[in-house]
Amino acid sequence: MKVAFLTEMGFEGKIPSDHPNARTEFAWMHALDADHFNIKNFNNVINYDHVFIIIPKGEVFLNAVGVTLVNGVNPSSDLLTNPLVSVLKSNNCKKIHYIQEGPTWLFNDYNIVDQINFYNNLQQFDTIYAHNNFDAKFYKGLLPNSTVKVMPTLLIEKLINNINNPKENKVIIGGNFARWYGGFQSYMVAQSFNLPIWAQDSHCKRPGEDQLPNLNHLQRLSWIDWMHALSTFKYAVHLMPTVAAGTFSLNCAYFGIPCIGNHNVDTQKICHPNLSVDVDDVEKARILANRLRDDIEFYNECSNQSKELYRKHYDISNYLKKINL
């Protein structure tokens, strides 16, 4: 079976198991032994059984606000005018699948022509793969005649399976102080632990974050260095309102780090069932933080359960069963 992935990334070829930047889409490609092509070269993709396409979301969240198009330009505009699926079908590609990129509502920030072109493209795909069951309901309503499934988030474990760092008394929040990440709420809840609080130094970092008391920032890290750093935390809080792939919650589960987070994200709900909340229920999140702090049995239960549920639902063998090409 021949599988191809089309994304905005510029390289061509396969992803080895020891790739140092094994983020989610790389893990999917590796698991399916897929060839990767830059999406602009879709005309060159010929004779594949399955083609998975991730349409670039454009530079829509590369700022502190979270969803404003940079300079008002959507880099995907030209791409969306192309008949992607019909061209690939004419190139003897049998099944063409769309994979959600970012939250379901992101295309609403495109201009009206781009929104219509995006929707028309979606209707042509053999399958729509959503990040979460929550997202799948959106696509089933928007595209009632389409086949909609869930594409589980995935890790390549080869470069991290020997990480065994001791947990330190500190807490990490899953994002910066932007609407996209909900960092302010996470920071306020994290203070319940009375421990040093850390966040990532990402493109969504707001001016002034460095001035907040008891908030530290990790430097920008490669994926493998990020995983090493994450493994040292005892607690995590991620009240991110944007429903996306859920990599932060999954990474925490892999290392047995109890994570308080959004109950609409599958990786959170499945791997951290006792710590999943409505992100607007900050009161419940704070109550859970207090319990994790004060009840060692509850902490150990959540930690061990997250690792067990990761193995049960998200290792590569389970991914291949679920995707079932």
Of 5-9, 90-94, 261-265, 305-309, the least confident? 5-9
What pLDDT was estimated at residue 202? 81
Measured CA to CA, the distance from residue 304 to residue 229 in angstroms comes to: 20
Complete edge-to-edge strand list for the sheet that includes strand 276-277: 215-218, 197-200, 168-173, 233-238, 259-262, 276-277
Instruction: Give the residue range(s) of CATH 3.40.50.2000 domains in the chain.
Output: 168-316
3 state DSSP class of 112:
helix
Tokens of 144: 């009632």
Tens digit of each residue's pLDDT (9 = 90 or more) over 57-96: 765 444 444 445 445 456 678 888 889 999 999 999 999 9
- Domain 3-151 class in CATH: alpha beta
Tens digit of each residue's pLDDT (9 = 90 or more) over 87-122: 999 999 999 999 999 899 988 878 899 899 999 999
Exposed, middle or buried by CB within 10 Å (0-12, 13-18, 19+), for 263? middle
Tokens of 90: 């004419």
Task: Write out the DSSP string of 37-106.
Answer: EEGGGGGG--S-SEEEE-----SSSSSSSSSPPGGG--TTHHHHTS-HHHHHHHTT--EEEEE--S-GGG
What pLDDT was estimated at residue 75? 60
3 state DSSP class of 234:
strand
CA 267 to chain centre: 9
Name the percent of the chain in helix, strand, coil, to the closest 5. 40, 15, 40
**Which numeric CATH code is attached to 168-316?**
3.40.50.2000
CA-to-CA dists, residue 304 to 63, 171, 221, 298, 299, angstroms: 36, 18, 27, 10, 9
Tens digit of each residue's pLDDT (9 = 90 or more) over 213-257: 999 999 989 999 999 999 999 999 999 999 999 999 999 999 999
Residue count of the chain, please give it: 325
Say what the pTM is. 0.94
